[in-house]
Amino acid sequence: MPHPFKQPPRALDRDAFVARFGAVYEHSPWIAEAVFEAGLTPRHDRPSGMHEAMRAVVESAGRERQLALLRAHPDLAGRVAVAGELSRQSTSEQTGAGLDKCSPEEAARFTALNEAYNAKFGFPFIIAVKGKDRREILNAFETRSAYDSASEFRTNLDEVHRIALFRLREL
């Protein structure tokens, strides 16, 4: 059974709760705010229960809010990463996958894929990079770039949820 959080979320006031869980979904504290406002129960004291609650908020948010969530994510190995302007979590995740060590050819490939993907879909390519290397990420990027918009929207939301679960487990 997954371990509970070190400090039970139910013991936190609203500000402390949002400060702790607001970054679980990239630049989208509204998700943590909604979970808190809905009321915390003992199930929220475990990463799996918190994840279920946060996922439910996203899934019921409507397409425009979901699109804003997708657009809050940075490009992989993109300009924001190179400039050192990623969130602490994204920096750690991209560094863990070796995206900070791209060869010039890999960096150029990521840039081209990011631009083409954004132009086609209107949101960035998102993948939970934990446990993956640059080659796996580039392969997934190239494969998924051929998919249709509805499929990629859903896949990206699923990947965002995976990232959130990894982040919750790290808390």
CATH number of the domain that residue 89 is part of: 1.10.3330.10
Q: Is residue 117 part of a domain?
A: yes
Q: Is residue 27 part of a domain?
A: no
pLDDT of residue 103: 80
pTM for this predicted structure: 0.89
Q: How many domains does the chain have?
A: 1
Mean pLDDT within 120-132: 94
Q: Is residue 161 part of a domain?
A: no
Catalytic residue among 3, 27, 44, 73: 73
- Please say if the pLDDT value at position 77 is more than 70: no
- Please say if the pLDDT value at position 9 is more than 60: yes
Q: Is residue 92 part of a domain?
A: yes
Q: Is residue 91 part of a domain?
A: yes
CB 57 within 8 A of CB 34: yes
- Please say if the pLDDT value at position 110 is more than 60: yes
Check if 73 is active-site. yes
In percent, how much of the chain has pLDDT > 70?
85
Q: Is residue 154 part of a domain?
A: no
Q: Is residue 39 part of a domain?
A: no
Q: Is residue 40 part of a domain?
A: no
Domain containing residue 114:
74-149
